[in-house]
Amino acid sequence: MSFSHFDRAIAVFDFGSQYSQLIVRRIRELGFQALLHQPGQVGEIGRPSAIILSGGPRSTSEPDAPDIDFDRLMEYGVPVLGICYGMQLLNLKCGGRIHPGTTREYGPALLRPAVADGLMAGITDSQVWMSHSDTCERPESARVLAENQDGIPVALQWDDRMFGIQFHPEVSHSQQGGRMLANFLAMAKDPAKFEIGAFKDRLVAETREIVAGRPVVCGVSGGVDSTVLAALLHEAGVDVRCLFVDNGLLRKNEVQDVVAQFEEIGIQIEVIHAADRFLTALAGVEDPEEKRRIIGKLFVDVFFSAAGDIQLLAQGTLFPDVIESATSGSIASTIKTHHNRVSQIMELARQGKVLEPLSDLFKDEVRALGRAMGLNPRVLGRHPFPGPGLAVRCPGAITEERLEIIREADEIFIDALRRHGLYDSVWQAYAAVLPCKTVGVKGDERVHEAPVVLRAVASQDAMTAEWVRLPGEFLAEVSNRILNGVPGVSRVLYDISTKPPASIEWE
């Protein structure tokens, strides 16, 4: 069940680039509304104020290369910017040619502006980030806006409202990319502003109108997304029934904390106690994808059994979830298997009974929405917690003993982060336990017990992440507390892997 297109938004068409949603994010950071669309939706985007065609992994020379209805695109009469693949596609549409490159250009390159106006206003020689293998041969009428260090045109203008750049201005590696996007947005036709307070008011009104008095079932976890969703429904005056599944894979005292958290908002939640069912189903299972499959399927079974007949189902799906799950025909690849819609939810979606009011937002925007609704900062600042729970922090077979080690070690780690004023400077932190034994000495005896891994990362949206340089004294304190206070642990490690190539979670 979709919400409005937000007329006068910047329309970004996704040709499969890993950076497509980052374009949307950068535009919103500049204060304007942007929405992501698939190329086949070119006639369904309302009244855009400008259009951007994203990059993509394909070559325009491939027989089945992604395309777009160019005539329909031009009917909007607004400025158009092609990025990487988008530039090559526009060049073809405007009478140019594309030549396959002998090597793929990926990484930093030097941008040398050839003009000082329009898209290049205020842009100087600087680093940009390339990711392509084909080269544009421009039509004679096209204007060269910039070249690379080898004198090859990497920015073109075909007419007074159509531009193309061969690099990615949306990534931080392109040093003046933000300014370039701002220059393009300055040409947009009365673009809609993105201001979270006004967005909240509109979302509340739209939610009330779409629900139209029908009862809503909402699954909650206590995380930022589901809490903001429930609060939004509550503020809209919706008759909402919130269900919380205790799958036995939660952190220490999680059930009590979540119940109290929602009571503070004025919402009563129903707790479904199903820990025994989950742990029984997971007994002896070591394959991480099989764990996720079991958890996802059982969660849906337990949830729908408790929910009964559903007129409307509300989900806290965010923008990255939509893209990574490759729903609605996205070109992007499936990454998170536990986000894929199972048959029951797909059937509800087919009937127009799935409500996802947060699906155009990033995590930090959801937090801003929660602040606009007056939610507790401690709740909004809570670190993300994965859908499969502690299962992704317990490589190997899941047992109650190993889960208890994670819970106790995690509580010590998170408590220390809060006491030392470090919690809010970390995107996500947790403890995991490894599926092996390591030798240790306790008292006068040698022991073989589990190693615990601590992980703390900094990120904006979980697409990339950097490990946090926590003080050595702090890590020593946490390690000492875990080794002396958590039975079954003989070693504490600190994970210093970045994403990519590592993921944030262990499984």
Which is it for the CA torsion 219, 220, 223, 225, positive or negative? positive
As given in the structure block, the two tokens for residue 385 are: 């917690």
Q: How buried is 454 (Cβ within 10 angstroms: 0-12 exposed, 13-18 middle, 19+ buried)?
A: buried
As given in the structure block, the two tokens for residue 457 are: 């990362």
CA distance 226 to 398: 26
136 assigned to active site: no
CA distance 192 to 10: 8
Give the type of residue at 272.
Answer: I
Q: How buried is 279 (Cβ within 10 angstroms: 0-12 exposed, 13-18 middle, 19+ buried)?
A: middle
383 assigned to active site: no
Bridge partners, residue 11, by sequence: 35, 51
Nearest CA to 393 among 438, 434, 437? 434
SS3 category, 147? strand
- Among 94, 132, 136, 168, the one annotated catalytic: 168
Q: With b meaning 16 or more CB within 10 Å and e meaning fewer, what string describes 107-138?
A: eebebbbeeeebbbeebeeeebbbbbebbbeb
As given in the structure block, the two tokens for residue 473 are: 């004294």
Give the CA count within 13 Å in the CB-facing half-sphere of 313: 22
CA distance 372 to 341: 30
- Among 84, 94, 218, 242, the one annotated catalytic: 84
If you write DSSP's letter for every residue of 396-462 in order, what string do you get?
S---HHHHHHHHHHHHHHHHHHHHTT-GGG-SEEEEEE-SS-EEEEETTEEEEEEEEEEEEEE-SSS
84 assigned to active site: yes
- Omega of the bond prior to 501 within 30 degrees of 0, cis? yes
CA dihedral 54, 58, 64, 70 (to 10 degrees): 20
- Among 37, 94, 132, 170, the one annotated catalytic: 170
CA distance 82 to 274: 50
- Omega of the bond prior to 471 within 30 degrees of 0, cis? no
CA distance 156 to 312: 48
As given in the structure block, the two tokens for residue 467 are: 């490990």
The residue behind tokens 């990059």 is 55
CA distance 261 to 440: 40
3-state helix, strand, coil in the chain (%, to 5): 35, 25, 40
- C-beta of residue 161 within 8 angstroms of C-beta of residue 195: no
Give the type of residue at 367.
Answer: R
Nearest CA to 30 among 181, 199, 169, 163? 181
Catalytic residue annotation: 84, 168, 170
